[in-house]
Amino acid sequence: MKLALVVVLIVGLAAVPKVVSPYYVTVLLPAIAYSIALLGFNLLFGYTGLLSFGHALFVAVGAYSAAVLSAKLGVKSFELVLLISAAVSVAAAVPVALLSVRYVRIFFGILTLAFGMLFHSFLFKFYDITGGDTGLRVLRPSLFGRDFAELDKTSFLVGPFYYYCLALLVVLGFVMWRIVHSPFGLHLMAAREQPRKAEYLGVRVRFVRFLAFLISAFYCAVGGVILAINTGQADPELAYWTHSGDLVFMTVLGGFASFFGPIVGAFSFVMLKGQLMGLTDYWRFFLGALLAVMVVAFPRGLVGVGQQIWTKARAR
Amino acid sequence: MTTLIETVDVRKAYGDFVALDGVTFSVAEDEVVSIVGPNGAGKSTLVNVLTGLLKPTAGLVRFKGEDIAGVGPVLLSRRGMARAFQLVHIFPALTVAETIAAAAISQTGRSLRFFSSVKADKELAARVGEVAAIFGLEGKLGTQAQFLSQGEKKLLDIASAFALKPEVILLDEPTSGVSSGDKHGIMTTLMEAAKRAGVKAIILVEHDMDLVAEYSSRIVALQGGKVLADRTPRDFFRDPEIVAAIVGKMPPRHACAA
């Protein structure tokens, strides 16, 4: 049942460029990027119980790595850009994680927030390296060695690049599915539930938290690379703490207790934000109000609401 | 008899306060050693030193001949010592099967398998079923721990410790919070489970003198951080002064008669 739903959704997403205007497809690209990033983010939040308020840091590291690689070092291959950017992000995550996973709850949240703000001010102040407030340009990559020179920018993004990113989401989603259902995933959840008991059952609590943190940094960087290529720009706003807040927002909106919650949250958030921004300048107000209602009335997020409706419909 | 675990002249001080003061004792194969004493006697500190959680200020702690002072519960669990808690420790959102599986995964050294499926592992499922059956939890495998009864939670806590296939198991008041009618039932289950699981020795921390008298092969009494007595139950309960120092009242009747 679940699998059938997933297949239908993938086919649906694959059909989107054939049905709607290119504008809407470029709106969906960030949703795919955030879905990938949040799969990683939620390994740490939903499964490990560590809520980071600084994970935009790793999205930004992905974006800036893509900028440096493509515009400064002339790396064209998307595969190389992805791998190197993700590796840079994991390397950056090592010291952050080593310090942060010693703490839980509010202390972990504040520490990650602090690291995120540090990185943002680095991007802002070191103009020569990072382009300061204007950020860095990101060039169009080649996919599997093909540079699609015959396509203009939009056709490239809504055509081959869109399908590439969708495939990435499917592959990385499958990998994450395996991770959370593996022995390692079970130990993450044990550490989340009751760390002291978990230790007595042989769970290396800090070590598995550390690894989950690195995996999340990998996924966030991949999301960041896609975001940057989509806009052609690595922007310091990507590292700003409100962007970290958006990651939390999307995950809670979709439902952090569910595997698919973050993906649902990413798509809902991106589309809702797009609609609201067209209607009013106060879109943040309405999004905030929505989140407040969700947390109070539907703590299991949109996926939880869907599950409730499904259970009721079946009971009839 | 082979000594499994021993402390030599262990001292644990927190500033001026001395929680353990020169504690020397050992547990050998086939023994059930009870640690008794009034509140504040140092039982909890000793337990935490024995399970590698606390590093003693001075003295030696050895498990199977190796120094385990402060090595931590993870390492100790892999070397063959398990602990069940006084206050029930469970994983509320995990099922009975998942809880036991978490321990079995550590025991088989598979915790860093990232892509294999827990559910599809038949060997693991068999092991989980086997452990659950010992504690009568085989009908609850798919139930989240938070929805178990208090007694079942206690059993799950202990079952997960047994899933580590320990050589020594430390039971911290295994019957606390259980109605007095059930406590002998739980102890009998525990003793049989220990035999079946190949546990070589049991350390029992217990207030209930009925249970101590019935199930221990030796009793170590602590008072003020020192070992007051280290005797067989027979000798222990024959000495009214010691019993009074530990329980603060006269011993239970059947223990006197023994």
Q: Do A268 and A253 touch, CB atoms closer than 8 A? A: yes
Answer whether A254 touches B (CB < 8 Å): no
CB contact (8 A) between residue A186 and residue B113: no
**What's the mean pLDDT when you consider all of chain B?**
84
Stretch A13-18: mean pLDDT, rounded? 82
Percentage of chain A beyond pLDDT 70 is 99
Is A187 within 8 Å of B102 when comparing Cβ atoms?
yes
Quote the mean pLDDT of chain A: 89
* Band of pLDDT at residue A122, cut at 50, 70 and 90: confident
Beta strands in chain A (DSSP E): 136-137, 233-234
Which tens digit of pLDDT belongs to each residue from B80-105? 899 888 777 889 999 999 999 999 99
Tens-digit pLDDT profile for residues B206-219: 888 888 888 888 98
Q: Does B113 touch chain A (CB under 8 A)?
A: yes
Domains within chain B, CATH numbers bracketed: 3-92+166-257 (3.40.50.300)
pLDDT confidence of residue B223: 85
Residues of chain B in contact with residue A193, where contact means CB-CB under 8 angstroms, are 90-94
Q: Is A185 on the interface with B (CB under 8 A)?
A: yes
Provide the pLDDT confidence category of residue A85 given band limits of 50, 70 and 90.
very high
Q: List for chain A the helix, strand, coil content (%; round to 5).
A: 80, 5, 20
By C-alpha distance, the chain A residue nearest B80 is A202
SS3 content of chain B, % helix, strand, coil (to 5): 40, 25, 35
> Residue A245's closest CA among A277, A269, A226?
A269
Could you report the predicted ipTM of this complex, rounded to two decimals? 0.83
Structure tokens at A189: 């959840």
> Is the pLDDT assigned to residue A224 strictly greater than 50?
yes
Residue B247 has pLDDT above 70, yes or no: yes
User: Chain A neighbours among B 130-149 (CB < 8 Å)?
Assistant: none
- Quote the DSSP letter at residue A238: G
Arithmetic mean of pLDDT, A221-226: 95
Sign of the dihedral defined by the CA atoms of residues A173, A178, A180, A181, in that order: positive
The beta-carbon neighbor of B94 closest among A178, A189, A208 is A189
Q: How confident is the model over B23-41, as a mean pLDDT?
A: 87
Distance (Å, whole) CA B81 – CA B52: 10
Q: Which of B48, B50, B53, B115 to mutate to test the interface with A (most CBs of A within 10 A)?
A: B115
Count the Cβ atoms, other than its own, within 10 Å of residue B47.
19
Q: What is the pLDDT of residues B189-206, one digit of tens each?
A: 888 888 888 888 999 988
Q: Check B72 against A196: CB less than 8 A apart.
A: no
> Among A111, A66, A59, which residue's Cα sits nearest to residue A85?
A66
| B158 Cβ under 8 Å from any chain A Cβ | no
- pLDDT, position B249: 53
User: What is the enclosing helix (H) or strand (E) of B7?
Assistant: strand B3-14
When pLDDT is cut at 50, 70 and 90, the band that residue B1 belongs to is low
Q: Are A187 and A198 in contact (CB under 8 A)?
A: yes
Count of CB atoms situated within 10 Å of the CB of B89: 21
- Please check the confidence at residue B256 and state whether its pLDDT lies above 50: no
B98 and A CB contact within 8 Å: yes
CB contact (8 A) between residue A182 and residue B114: yes
Q: Are B53 and B8 in contact (CB under 8 A)?
A: no
Res. B258 pLDDT band, cuts 50 70 90: very low
Other beta carbons within 10 angstroms of residue B38's beta carbon come to: 15
The phi, psi pair for B63, rounded to 5°, reads -125, 120
Query: What is the pLDDT averaged over residues A200-224?
Result: 94
Highest mean pLDDT among A248-262, B47-61, B227-241: A248-262
**Who contacts B128 (Cβ-Cβ below 8 Å, separation ≥6)?**
B97, B100, B101, B104, B141, B163
DSSP-derived secondary structure letter, A72: I
Contacts of A198 in chain B (CB under 8 A): 91, 102
Intra-chain end-to-end CA distance of chain A, in Å = 18
> What's the pLDDT at A238?
86
Token duo for residue B236: 């222990």
pLDDT value for A165: 93
CB pairs under 8 A between A and B: 102
B109, B160, B111: which is closest to B131 by C-alpha?
B160
pLDDT at A181 over 90: yes
